[in-house]
Amino acid sequence: MKFNTKTIHGGQQPDKAYGAVMPPIYQTSTFAQSTPGGHKGYEYGRTHNQTRTPLENALASLENGNYGLAFGSGLAAIDAIIKLLKSGDEVISTSDLYGGTYRLFTKVFENYGIKFHFIRMENASNIEAYINENTRLIWTETPTNPMMNVIDIEVTAAIAKKHNIILAVDNTFATPFLQRPLDLGADIVMHSATKYIGGHSDLVMGALVVKDKEIADKLYFIQNASGAICGPMDSFLALRGIKTLHVRMQRHCENGKAIAEYLAAHPKVEKVYWPGLEDHPNHDIAKRQMDDFGGMISFVTKGDDYDQAIKIVENLKVFTLAESLGGVESLAGHPASMTHASIPKATREKIGVVDALIRLSIGIEDVDDLIEDLAQALSK
Ligand code: P1T
C-alpha cells in the first residue's frame, strides 16, 4: 500500500460491532468480564482501548513498523524510552533538541543516575568518540528543533548497530510523509503527535513505533506500568488528523519553500535555516533522506537583536505567536524565551539559539497572505 492510501486505511478496518467507518470513541475505563479473565481482549482502559488500538496500528503502518504505542504527550513517549535504561547507563543526544526533552533528560533522568552527552551529530563521525561500555541509547532529532540541522539516520544507525546501541529518532518535524527512520535502520521512531500527526492543534499526544518485538514488549510493559496513555477522544482526533497528513504535508512543504526563499532574499534577514535551501549545511543529507523539506523554518534578522525579534513576532497578524507547531495554522515563536527557555543561555547560544532567532511553523493558508504578513512585520 502506498503512503497516501495508508494514511486513510493503514492499520484500520471498519469497526467490528456495526461497521462504523471511523472507529467509535470507546469512552470507557473498564470492560465487563463474564468470569475473572473472561473478556473480549479488552479489560482495563490503561492497558488497551478500542479507539487507541486502531490509532496505534495506523501509526505503525505509517512508519513501516510492526508495533505502535500512543501516549498522553510527546514527552511521555520519550519518558517511556528512557525507562528502558537503568542507573549507570549513558545516552548520546543531539545538542540541538526540543527544550522540554533537554529538561526531561537533565532535570529528571540525570537524578536517576543516567548520563547524557549532548553533541553535534550532523557529522556522524563525532558520535563514536562518546561511545563506551555504558552507552545504551543514541537520541536524535532530525531536522532538529529549532536549528533545522539534519542528521544522517542511515550512517548513525550503522554506528549504533556496530556497538549494539538503540537508536531512537524523534521524527516530529519531518513526519513519516517525509522520512521513515525505521527503514533507514533506527530502532525506535518517536513523535510529538501533538504536531503534524494530529495536525489541528486540538490535542496533546505522543507516539512510538518499533519493528522489533523485544523492544516493543518492553515499551508496552512501561506504557501500562507507568500509565502515561492518551484517552479515547484524543485517539479519535489523532486518527482523524492522520487521514489528511499527506495532503497537509504537501501544502506545508510548498508554503515552506516559498517562505524560506522569500526570507532568504529579504534585505533585513541575516540567515534562514530550512534544509531545502541549497546553502543549508546539511542540504545533501536532507535531499537523500527526506522526500521534501517540510514547513518548519527558523531565521535571524540582521543586527542579531532581541528587541527586534520580539517586535516582529508581536506584529505578525496571520501568524499566531504561540508555542507548538505542525497545525494547519501558521505559528511564530521565539525559542530563547519560549520553547527552549529551559536550556541555559550559554548552552543554547552555542547551538545557535540566539536571542534574535525566530521560529516559524508554516501552515496551509494561502501563501500570499503569509508572505504579506511577514513583509509588514519585518517592515516595522
Ligand atoms: O509537547 P509534547 O507533545 O509533549 O512533545 C514534546 C516534543 C518532543 N519533540 C519535539 C521535536 C517537539 O517539538 C516537542 C514539543 N515541541 C513544542 C511544544 C515546540 O513548540 O517546539
Verify that 101 and 136 share a domain, yes or no.
yes
Verify that 216 and 284 share a domain, yes or no.
no
Cα 192 from Cα 170, distance rounded (Å) = 8
Cα 206 from Cα 76, distance rounded (Å) = 7
Asked if residues 302 and 313 have their Cβ atoms less than 8 Å apart, the reply is: no
User: How far does the chain reach from its first CA to its final CA, in angstroms?
Assistant: 50
In 3D space, the residue among 280, 295, 303, 297 whose CA is nearest the CA of residue 356 turns out to be: 303
Verify that 222 and 324 share a domain, yes or no.
no
What is the whole-number distance in angstroms between the Cα of residue 247 and the centre of ligand 1?
22
CATH number at residue 359: 3.90.1150.10
Residues whose CB is less than 8 angstroms from the CB of residue 203 and which lie 6 or more positions away in sequence, other chains included: 193, 194, 230, 234, 237, 238, 241
pLDDT value at 203 more than 80: yes
Verify that 140 and 265 share a domain, yes or no.
no
Verify that 225 and 258 share a domain, yes or no.
no
In 3D space, the residue among 281, 65, 274 whose CA is nearest the CA of residue 169 turns out to be: 65
Verify that 250 and 217 share a domain, yes or no.
no
Catalytic residue numbers read 46, 98, 170, 195
> Ligand 1 pocket check: which of 139, 194, 323 to mutate, most ligand atoms within 8 Å of Cβ?
194
Q: Which residue among 212, 242, 272 closes a domain?
A: 242
Per-residue model confidence (pLDDT) at position 245: 98
Whether residue 204 has its Cβ less than 6 Å from ligand 1 = yes
Mean pLDDT of 85-89: 98
pLDDT digits (tens, 9 = 90+) for 133-170: 999 999 999 999 999 999 999 999 999 999 999 999 99
Cis peptide before 143 (omega within 30 of 0): yes
Mean pLDDT of 105-120: 98
> Ligand 1 pocket check: which of 195, 323, 324 to mutate, most ligand atoms within 8 Å of Cβ?
195
Per-residue model confidence (pLDDT) at position 99: 95
Verify that 176 and 32 share a domain, yes or no.
yes
- What is the CA angle 65-44-17, rounded to 5? 75
pLDDT digits (tens, 9 = 90+) for 16-66: 889 999 999 999 999 999 999 999 999 999 999 999 999 999 999 999 999
Query: How do strand 115-119 and strand 331-333 relate by DSSP bridges?
Result: unpaired
How many Cα atoms are found within 13 Å in the side-chain-facing hemisphere of 59?
32
Verify that 256 and 235 share a domain, yes or no.
no
Amino acid at 265: A
Verify that 363 and 294 share a domain, yes or no.
yes
Verify that 76 and 217 share a domain, yes or no.
yes
Supply the pTM of this predicted model: 0.98
Verify that 186 and 152 share a domain, yes or no.
yes
Model confidence band, residue 305 (pLDDT cutoffs 50, 70, 90):
confident
Distant-in-sequence contacts of 307-310, Cβ < 8 A, 24+ apart: 308/356, 309/334, 309/355, 309/356, 309/357, 309/358, 310/334
Which residue's C-alpha comes closest to atom 18 of ligand 1? Answer: 324
What are φ and ψ of residue 226, in 5° steps?
-85, -35
What is the tally of structural domains in the chain?
2
Q: The domain containing residue 359 runs over which residues?
A: 246-379
In 3D space, the residue among 63, 7, 1 whose CA is nearest the CA of residue 248 turns out to be: 7
**Dihedral angle at the C-alpha atoms of 273, 278, 284, 288, nearest 10 degrees?**
90
Verify that 215 and 152 share a domain, yes or no.
yes
Q: Which residue among 219, 242, 265 closes a domain?
A: 242
CATH number at residue 189: 3.40.640.10
Per-residue model confidence (pLDDT) at position 380: 86
Whether residue 141 has its Cβ less than 6 Å from ligand 1 = yes
Residue in this structure with the C-alpha cell 475505563, named with its chain if needed = 29
Three-class SS string for 168-206?
A: EEECCCCHHHHCCHHHHCCCEEEEECCCCCCCCCCCCCE
Whether residue 339 has its Cβ less than 6 Å from ligand 1 = yes
Which grid cell is 129?
568518540
Asked if residues 358 and 310 have their Cβ atoms less than 8 Å apart, the reply is: no
Burial class (CB in 10 A: 0-12, 13-18, 19+), 16: exposed
Residue in this structure with the C-alpha cell 495532503, named with its chain if needed = 247
Q: Using the atom order of ligand 1, give the atom closest to the CA of residue 194.
A: 3
Q: Which residue among 206, 221, 242 closes a domain?
A: 242
